[in-house]
Amino acid sequence: MLTRRKILSLATPVILAQAATATTGVVDTAIMGRFGDKSDLAAVAIAAVAFSFIYWGFGFLRMSTTGLTAQANGGGDIAESRAILLRALLMGAGIGAVLFLVSPLLKLGIFAAFHGTETVETLAGGYFDARIWGAPAYLMGLAVTGWMLGTGKTGQMLAFQIVMNGINAGLDTWFVARLDWGPAGIGAGTAIAEWVALVFGLILVAPAFRGHARLLDRARLTALFAANRDIMIRTLALLFCFAWFVRSGTMISTAITAGNEVLLQFITVAAFVLDGFAFVAEKEAGEAYGARDGKRLARAMRLTTEFALLSGAAISLAYWLGGGWIIEIFIRDPEARAAALAYLPWCAAVPLLGIAAWQLDGLFLGTTQGRALRNAGTLSAILYIGADLMLRPQMGNAGVWTAFLLMYLFRAAALGLYVPGLFRGLSRPPRPAS
């Protein structure tokens, strides 16, 4: 039976790994805050969102790998678990190569959506050109971490993230603080770190390459592509929300863009930490779904959500009390610092308000309910954009943040509509994906 102790044993390495992942953006922002100006910060904000839009759009490589692997393990099909990893690695390598080849067109299309100054867009372009070299490594790394999580190897997942983010932090500091490469140095450091981490990750999962695996099983491939398609649409919808959030800041001023980017890193840290419990829910839900055990599924969601609520409340309180001190230390530009301090209370509310959305994501990803994720993600994005268009003209950046908070509530409500049907479906024979 799943216990709180087991949840903590699984979640602790995941939380630490997620915190390490979050330091990528935090380190980038902190270094630019100390050694650059508001244009450098705004450039990193725009370019980072561009890569989030590109890379997280293919986040299904991690999400579907975790869910399908957990379901295979829950059903006792170890050979299929091995095949899932190999399929995801091949898919990640192929997609990454295509992204690199079409990167000039991607850059033009994405940057055209932002209204940054010429200086900001030039600096952002340097970051983009350097970081795109890591595309295949990053996407294959998603497959590796997804499989580690789906098999419960959370300690290996932590080691993978520590290697990547430790190298990233060291190279970013060297390239920017010592070599004065600016945003381009941030992109280069991250790309190199992604390749080193991939090699390390492949060494860790090498035992999975032994034995027979049916890579071209038609039914399994159909299930994989169906799950990936819907999860990709859902992820793109949510990423569009974050891109819209950054764009809304650029419509006000460069200082607001920079300040919002700093606060977005606070949210990134909180989300990555709290996703630790959502990821455990994802793994446990996948295994319970594969075993067709509704009681086990309900218990997994209840216990992981208890921990998530307590942690979310603690993080919100910590941001409320200590966030200003962090901002004062790391942000040198006075206008960007003032903007971040002014809207810190909105940022501090996200870790608590976002719990339901993150936990429900874990439930539906682990059970690979792609249609529910797709529909809920699309609906919440539409509602969020409508709220921003209504509130921003009257309230300025306060309206931008209010709409952003509502987006988390929209996500939770939309996914909640599908929960009863998910549990009813456990009484029927399993389908490969939905």
pLDDT tens, position by position, 61-79: 888 888 888 888 887 777 7
Q: What is the mean pLDDT of the chain?
A: 85
Choose the weakest-confidence range: 48-62, 148-162, 246-260: 48-62
Provide mean pLDDT across the span 4-13: 87
Cβ atoms 249, 343 nearer than 8 A:
no
- For residue 181, being part of any structural domain is answered with yes
pLDDT of residue 254: 81
Which of residues 431 and 17 earns the better pLDDT score?
Answer: 17
pLDDT of residue 113: 67
- For residue 42, being part of any structural domain is answered with yes
- For residue 430, being part of any structural domain is answered with no
Q: Which of 195, 203, 207 is nearest to 151 (CA)?
A: 207
pLDDT of residue 324: 87
Q: Write the single-letter amino acid at 245.
A: F
pLDDT of residue 404: 95
What sign has the CA pseudo-torsion 312, 26, 63, 276? negative
Taking phi over 0 as left and psi of -120 to 50 as alpha, with beta for the rest, 180 belongs to: left
pLDDT of residue 114: 67
pLDDT of residue 37: 72
pLDDT of residue 405: 95
Please report which confidence band the pLDDT of residue 400 belongs to, taking 50, 70 and 90 as the band edges.
very high
Which of residues 53 and 101 earns the better pLDDT score?
Answer: 101
Which of residues 154 and 310 earns the better pLDDT score?
Answer: 310
Provide mean pLDDT across the span 158-162: 91
Q: Which of 5, 9, 25, 8 is nearest to 271 (CA)?
A: 25
Please report which confidence band the pLDDT of residue 227 belongs to, taking 50, 70 and 90 as the band edges.
confident
Q: Write the single-letter amino acid at 6.
A: K
- pLDDT tens figures, 322-369: 888 888 887 777 888 888 888 999 999 999 999 999 999 999 998 888
- For residue 433, being part of any structural domain is answered with no
Two tokens, residue 71:
């379901």
Query: For the chain, what is the domain count?
Result: 1
Please report which confidence band the pLDDT of residue 40 belongs to, taking 50, 70 and 90 as the band edges.
confident
pLDDT of residue 433: 43
Residue 264 and residue 428: Cα distance in Å, rounded? 42
pLDDT of residue 208: 78
Range of the domain at 82: 4-425
- For residue 64, being part of any structural domain is answered with yes
pLDDT of residue 434: 40
- For residue 173, being part of any structural domain is answered with yes
DSSP-assigned letter for residue 176: I
Taking phi over 0 as left and psi of -120 to 50 as alpha, with beta for the rest, 368 belongs to: left
- For residue 122, being part of any structural domain is answered with yes
Provide mean pLDDT across the span 110-130: 77
- For residue 75, being part of any structural domain is answered with yes
- pLDDT at 219 exceeding the cut of 60: yes
What sign has the CA pseudo-torsion 134, 22, 341, 325? negative
